[in-house]
Amino acid sequence: MRSLLYTIGSLLILLLSHDGGFTGAADAEHTFRATDIHTHRHRRNHGHRRGEEFEYSALSCRAYSASLDEFGAVGDGVTSNTAAFRDAVSQLSHFADYGGSLLFVPAGRWLTGSFNLTSHFTLFLHRDAVLLASQEESDYEVIEPLPSYGRGRDTDGGRFISLLFGSNLTDVVITGENGTIDGQGEPWWGKFKRGELKYTRPYLIEIMHSDGIQISNLTFLNSPSWHIHPVYSSNIVIQDLTILAPVTVPNTDGINPDSSTNTRIEDCYIVSGDDCIAVKSGWDQYGINYGMPTKQLLIRRLTCISPDSAVIALGSEMSGGIEDVRAEDIIAINSESGIRIKTAIGRGGYVKDVYVRGITMQTMKYVFWMTGSYGSHPDEHYDPNALPVIQNINYQDMVAENVTMPAQLAGITGDQFTGICISNVTITLSKKPKKVLWNCTDVSGYTSGVTPEPCQLLPEKQPGTVVPCNFPESSIPIDEVKLQRCYSRRRFM
């Protein structure tokens, strides 16, 4: 079957080169598909129930499609399908220049180790499809540390490749009908806690050095470590995701945009043992030398539960810089902090031009938290004179209830965090709040219409008048990107 698909693809490419090609992928409802030839032949020889068209939204539609079970995969939750996934992606990669391809994952429990993605490609999960990540270390190649980190996050050496991995790709879509990708992370968590890992734990998705990424309409469970990690990439849409991990497990961050530009994260529900969204750009001297910031980041309509971490964390690995971050319409429940800025001496870099508005919080340890003493380092070779710049941080239109402490704001002596604006914020305290409600050192800025009364380092700008903070009126490019309506055929064998 696989060789047949490859042969068909080769013939189609040959025909395209002589006859001028078939209809483009943007008109996918009427597009010829390579697997339609196989479908017709199968019906003729074996009988076939009528196919069903399904609709989805994507950055790009695809001209060709195939189903995972055509490659010998078995969805029983026990049989390894690593070879089937790798073979399917390899075969479908031949259509990258001819309208792209879609791999349909039907209902079932599909156990698999790591596999690579390809360009102009869609991975689509049926609503009852579950990708089960292998728990065997041998199913994950060991790859080099990220150059902006200099080492793995868990260990000094390399790192296990992610379950779904891609590098130097264009136009990649991972989507579905709310199908599930389950990292089955419990054995990894245990090895990490016991110090038994030689390499850093795998993520569920990591896409590097790529342009045009969509991850949408899926549920992610129990990653060994971070769930979704776009890094050194641009033009990214992440939306309509549910991400769930035990709140007691460290480093199970939800989404980690890292040294990436023009990213939109929206309509996500995240429960995590670590930050729901962690914005990063490299670690100490490695991030400074690599010099690739995260910028033009839009986060909206996020719901987060994270009792021991932040709803949105900026850092602590921010040595390449973080700028132009816009977050709005956020709900935080039972979380340690709302927006947290984490940095340290030796980080260098900057966090600037951060705009946050419209946050509702219930049961929080802190509403605002900034720290300049988050002192983990990759090694002893960091530069103690590399001081971070934190400036133009804007928070407005927030309501928080059952709060232990409104703010813990600690800059660095000789390196103030400047330009902090907090406006139109109402905080209701818990039954047993901290004695000091606002603890502020080495910060400067102003407040307006904030209760309880802030610290003296953030005085009220115009008493009796609520003065709004900055929030840009212009949009960033990714906000103008619209998904297309695409169609493909779900086939029943």
From residue 469, alpha-carbon distances to 43, 281, 347, 358, 464 in Å are 64, 26, 27, 12, 16
What the block records as the tokens of 324 is 């132009």
Q: Provide the 10 A C-beta neighbour count for residue 376.
A: 12
What does the chain come to in residues?
Answer: 493
CA distance 91 to 82: 14
Give the span between the Cα atoms of 46 and 493, in whole angstroms.
Answer: 9
SS3 43: helix
Please say if 274 is a catalytic residue.
yes
Catalytically annotated residue among 87, 154, 258, 274: 274
Burial class (CB in 10 A: 0-12, 13-18, 19+), 413: exposed
How do the residues of the chain divide into helix, strand and coil, expressed in percent and rounded to 5?
15, 45, 40
What is the rounded distance in angstroms from the CA atom of residue 330 to the CA atom of residue 144?
36
Crossing angle between the packed helical segments 34-46 and 2-19, to the nearest 10 degrees: 130
Burial of 137 (0-12, 13-18, 19+ CB in 10 A): middle
Taking the chain, what is the end-to-end CA distance rounded to the nearest angstrom?
13
Instruction: Work out the burial of residue 349: count CB atoms within 10 Å of its CB; fewer than 13 is exposed, 13-18 middle, 19 or more buried.
Output: buried
**In whole angstroms, what is the distance from residue 47 CA to residue 32 CA?**
21
Q: Which residues contact 87 (CB under 8 A, 6 or more apart)?
A: 2, 71, 72
Reduce the DSSP state of residue 402 to 3 states and report it.
strand
What token pair was written down for 399? Answer: 């309501």
Cα 122 to Cα 179: distance, rounded to the nearest angstrom: 14
* Partners of residue 103 on adjacent β-strands: 66, 123
Nearest to 258 by CA among 231, 238, 288: 231
CA distance 280 to 159: 18
Token reading at 210: 């790529």
From the CB of residue 477, how many other CB atoms can be counted at a distance below 10 Å?
12
Phi then psi for residue 90, to 5 deg, are -60, -45
Q: How far apart are CA 476 and CA 146, in angstroms?
A: 27
Question: Token digits for 400?
Answer: 């928080």
Alpha carbons 351 and 349: distance in angstroms, whole number: 7
Question: Among all residues, which ones are annotated catalytic?
Answer: 274
